[in-house]
Amino acid sequence: MKVLTANTLSDGIAVWYSGSDWLRSINNAEIAADADAESRLTTIGALAYANNEVVDVNLIDIVVKDGKPHPTRLRERIRAEGPTIDYAGKSAAWGI
Amino acid sequence: MYRYDEFDRTFVSARVAEFRDQVERRLSGDLTEDQFRPLRLMNGVYLQLHAYMLRVAIPYGTLSSIQMRKLAHIARVYDRGYGHFTTRQNIQYNWPALKDMPAVLAELAEVEMHALQTSGNCIRNVTADHFAGVAADEIADPRPASEILRQWSSIHPEFSYLPRKFKIAVTGAPHDRAAIQVHDIGLQLVKNDKGELGFVVYVGGGQGRTPMVAKKIRDFLPEQDLLAYSTAILRVYNLEGRRDNKYKARIKILVHEMGTEELRQAVEAEFDQLKDSELKLPESDIRAIEAYFAMPNLLERAEGHGKLAADRKAHAGFSAWVNQNTVAHRHPDYRAVTVSLKPIGGIPGDASAEQMDLIADIAERYSADELRISHEQNIILPHVALADLKTIYDLLLPANLSTANSNLISDIIACPGLDYCALANARSITVAQKISERFADLGRQRDIGELKLKISGCINACGHHHVGHIGILGVEKRGEELYQITLGGSADENTSIGEIIGRGFGPDEITDAIETVVETYLKHRLSADEKFLDAYRRLGPAPFKDVLYAQSVAESMTNASL
């Protein structure tokens, strides 16, 4: 299973495609469960890239845990959840 | 400190205006990402995992309090309230928006700073000894040469599209604190028999996936020939360096493949053509640049000797900090102070805007308005009167900036790693934090003595793991983080590349493994005076391997029998 992710062009923040919009959370990302769905997401990503909405567009592997997409690679989990460290501005930035 | 002249000001302002236009065209869609990427990189703008990252140059690591306050201001207004000081004496912001980038660069230009050539296949920010102009063992200040190189290399038309990036470091002291032998060009200031200044020239050092110690190609280069000789080296590299494979494109590979002697001859032949050209530096120009870096007018503060002795007697923590985090200054009434950005369990190199402002205030009042960033990711107050040390310590303490760990095991270099970096394979910061916490006891750290521990989250080696006395390299294996240990590296005048000690360790094992290495050293050292690196060079890897891997063999046998 895969979801579509990218970074917004204007501020660079990581986003995931929800089926209608690019959101800053992976939780509501549209999940592609077969090749056709993957192909559709790829097309949506390419279009958003061409329209200068997002950059660095990728389909990433996930599994579903507790009803939510969970990236299989650590890199993508860190992208989704933010740095794993308590950096100076983390509390404010992530609403902790 | 160097001050921009009219040319510098016009040039930097023009680049800000140019980039403002490029960003506007990108945001409006007139430029595609493919067209824009090289343009943003030329201005220090990367795209990382979570956001854009802006890398700001701090030439040879020197900055004023006004500049530091500006860095704090940018952190507060355009980022998330902090910045990360890097192993190349730069600062990185992890969250700036592309649309704000021109405003950030304009603010930087106001205080004579920029982000030019902090990326791309060009000559990068020239780095230098962080105790430049201060160190008691210095032959000459390396910053005038660094500034001359900065001016020469800024948008140098011939050297803006090199086979790969190119890094130059300069030291003015025989004890190398600038890691010059792991740079593309390393320069060491020396005096010849006649008392004239010049450089020992090293070429082809580097880390990354193919670590190499630089080769000496000149015992003495007269200072007026600095640009002619540098041009000769760059010209040979630009023509002969490989462009077919980015992993073999650095000058270290050219030196390796061509051979040191052949490369030296090619450089000397080119230099013969150039040495009497306009590249020969006029004496007056050298002295004019040198004047910018004159020692500030430091008042006699002889009362500090008695005061310091009394303060030390009264405050053990302060006394330990003076021992560990201050070094001799040329002026006997002063010392240079290392402000540790490595609190126990902290993020190496990170500073909040509030910390930056505090350090700027201290520098303005107590350090002749000067600061340095070290490649070891700490901040230096270069000119502190002995009489003011206690006051400064008391100001740093509540801001978590007074950890007395300079050159000890918790003074860890770590790259941003997988917490931020798009190239990383594994986290670095979390490993640094756990090791720092394991060795939290400063008494224990002092007993261990000088130990440089350096961590990289990928083979690009931004965390300098190859030259750590103990190096840790994070890799990804079967989707998991794995950490390889190297031992015996060093980045001083006796530079060596650390040896891989054996198979890697998981994130939950690496701290124990490091402790095992340290305990093995303590057990085998001849005395407390034999430092870790000296003991390793005497002992070799065997005793460390024996303990590290015997333990894991024993554990697996125990587990198997359960």
Note whether A83 contacts B420, CB cutoff 8 Å.
yes
User: pLDDT grade, residue B560 (50/70/90)?
Assistant: low
User: pLDDT grade, residue B20 (50/70/90)?
Assistant: very high
Q: How is residue B297 written in tokens?
A: 């007018």
**Amino acid at residue number B555:** E
Which residue, among A44, A46, A70, A71, has the nearest Cα to A56 in the 3D structure?
A46
- Provide, as residue numbers in chain B, all residues whose Cβ is less than 8 Å from the Cβ of A49: 33
Query: Which residue is closest to B355 within chain A, CA to CA?
Result: A88
The pLDDT value recorded for residue A96 is: 44
The pLDDT value recorded for residue B554 is: 62
Query: What's phi and psi for B295, nearest 5 deg?
Result: -55, 130
Task: Measure the CA–CA gap between A81 and B558, rounded to whole angstroms.
Answer: 37
pLDDT tens digits for B45-61?
999 999 999 999 999 99
Average pLDDT over residues B385-399: 98
- Provide, as residue numbers in chain A, all residues whose Cβ is less than 8 Å from the Cβ of B38: none
- Residue ranges, chain A, pLDDT below 50: 96
Note whether A85 contacts B429, CB cutoff 8 Å.
yes
The b/e string for B155-192 (b: 16+ C-beta within 10 A; e otherwise) is eeeebeebbbbbbbbbbbbeebbbbbbbbbbbbbbbee
The pLDDT value recorded for residue B229 is: 98
Task: Measure the CA–CA gap between B466 and B282, rounded to whole angstroms.
Answer: 39
Q: Which residue bears the tokens 């900065």?
A: B150
Note whether B51 contacts A52, CB cutoff 8 Å.
no
Report H helices in B197-337.
Answer: 226-240, 251-258, 260-274, 283-292, 303-314, 316-325
Minimum distance, in Å, between the CA of residue B80 and any CA atom of chain A: 5
The pLDDT value recorded for residue B372 is: 98
Average pLDDT over residues B73-101: 97
- Provide, as residue numbers in chain A, all residues whose Cβ is less than 8 Å from the Cβ of B481: 74
The pLDDT value recorded for residue A9 is: 98
**Amino acid at residue number B177:** R
Task: Measure the CA–CA gap between B235 and B158, rounded to whole angstroms.
Answer: 8
**ipTM metric:** 0.95
B295, B348 contact by CB (below 8 A) = no
Residue B559 has pLDDT above 90, yes or no: no
Q: Which residue bears the tokens 């502190």?
A: B384
Q: What percent of chain A has pLDDT over 90?
A: 90
Q: How is residue B486 written in tokens?
A: 């190297």
Average pLDDT over residues B62-77: 98
Task: Measure the CA–CA gap between B227 and B282, rounded to whole angstroms.
Answer: 11
Note whether A89 contacts B81, CB cutoff 8 Å.
yes
Report H helices in B456-509.
Answer: none
> Distance of alpha carbon B292 from its chain centroid, rounded?
23
- Provide, as residue numbers in chain B, all residues whose Cβ is less than 8 Å from the Cβ of A13: 50-51
Please, what is the average pLDDT of chain B? Answer: 96
Helix (H, G, I), strand (E, B) or coil at A15: strand
How far is the first Cα of chain A from the last one, in angstroms, to the nearest whole number? 30
pLDDT tens digits for B99-142?
999 999 999 999 999 999 999 999 999 999 999 999 989 999 99
pLDDT tens digits for B473-488?
999 999 899 999 999 9
Question: Which residues 6+ apart lie within 8 Å of B417 measured at CB?
Answer: B424, B426, B427, B428, B429, B430, B431, B455, B456, B457, B458, B463, B474
SS3 for B254-282, per residue? HHHHHCHHHHHHHHHHHHHHHCCCCCCCC
Query: Which residue is closest to B81 within chain A, CA to CA?
Result: A89
Q: How is residue B552 written in tokens?
A: 């894991």
Which residue, among B98, B99, B423, B34, has the nearest Cα to A49 in the 3D structure?
B34
Report H helices in B315-376.
Answer: 316-325, 353-366
Note whether B98 contacts A11, CB cutoff 8 Å.
yes
Planar angle of CA B324, A86, B485, nearest 5 degrees: 60
Query: Which residue is closest to A8 within chain B, CA to CA?
Result: B51
B162, B121 contact by CB (below 8 A) = yes
- Provide, as residue numbers in chain B, all residues whose Cβ is less than 8 Å from the Cβ of A87: 80, 82, 94, 347, 350
Q: Which residue bears the tokens 């792991």?
A: B182
Show which of residues 310-369 on chain B sit within 8 Å of chain A, judged by CB atoms: 347, 350-353
Q: Is the dihedral of CA B6, B9, B12, B15 positive or negative?
A: negative
